[in-house]
Amino acid sequence: MTAHGSLKTAPRGYPKDHPRIELLRLKGLITWKQWPGGAWLAKRSAKDRIVEFLNASAPLSGWLAEHVGDSELPDDRRR
């Protein structure tokens, strides 16, 4: 898991000493898997690797949907 940046301080409404403040300060969360390039990419098994990764990422996606929801920012303010 990684993010595309973090806030300098706690988000509004959260104490600075929150036990998960490091996660709360992240501006966005992503799951990431990197494989070396190679001949395997041209094989049907490449799909299996990608589907496996997406399935492994599903719990994070579900948690974000339940606890965070969709962005309320207008499209021109989203990154």
Tell me the whole-structure pTM to 2 decimals. 0.59
Number of domains in the chain: 2
The pLDDT, as a whole number, for residue 63 is 83
H helix and E strand count, the chain: 2, 0
Of 35, 34, 31, 33, give the one whose Cα is nearest residue 1: 31
Side chain identity, residue 45: S
Residues 11 and 26 in one domain: yes
Residues 44 and 73 in one domain: yes
Residues 20 and 46 in one domain: no
Work out the burial of residue 31: count CB atoms within 10 Å of its CB; fewer than 13 is exposed, 13-18 middle, 19 or more buried: middle
Residues 57 and 72 in one domain: yes
Residues 42 and 22 in one domain: no
Residues 42 and 73 in one domain: yes
Query: Which tokens hold the place of 63?
Result: 């948690």
Enclosing domain of residue 40: 35-77
For the segment 27-60, what is each residue's pLDDT rounded down to a tens digit?
877 888 999 999 999 999 999 999 999 999 999 8
Residues 39 and 10 in one domain: no
Dihedral sign for Cα atoms in the order 27, 30, 36, 37: negative
